[in-house]
Amino acid sequence: MTVKEIPIESPIEEKITWAENCHRERGADLLRDEEVDFLLRELKGAIRASHMEMAHTGIVESCRLCEEKDGGSCCGAGLENRYTGLLLLINLLLGHLIPGRRQDPLGCFFLGKEGCGLLSRQVICINYLCKKVTDQINPHKIAPLREKEGLELDLLFHLNERIKKVLATTKAPE
């Protein structure tokens, strides 16, 4: 059984359901694929490196303070609409559960008390930095972060493409 991806304009709850169903029905097939397995392991390491670099540069603290003191978040309601079912599936393949409900009515569906509730995120969520952050952080400290984010995005792109190929060509066990 091949799997057709859910349209990007679908409501987020439908994308989550699609990802969970796809993971249940085809997750084992995907994890047995050597390229998918390799890319997942590499992506997990790249995500960890990006997150560590964000903390090292002070961006994590800057964003936390902005949320607490200014009540502002770059993670506003509607941002979740940019997420695809495949990206949510990748989170599940990484062993990361997807939040089941919105915690902040003004925030992204995936925004929780500790930040983003996803491990693998959409491109804008990975590399957007507001002016307040870029004014506070030395540009020389941002360059190493951008390199790590670039690797994360490159791996995410290749993983997306490989998963699409596997889902389109592999038959599910009978």
Q: What is the tens place of the pLDDT at every residue in 92-147? A: 999 999 999 999 888 899 988 888 899 999 999 999 998 888 898 888 989 999 99
pTM: 0.92
Q: Where are the beta strands (DSSP E) in the chain?
A: 111-112, 115-116
Q: Which residue ranges make up each domain of the chain?
A: 12-167
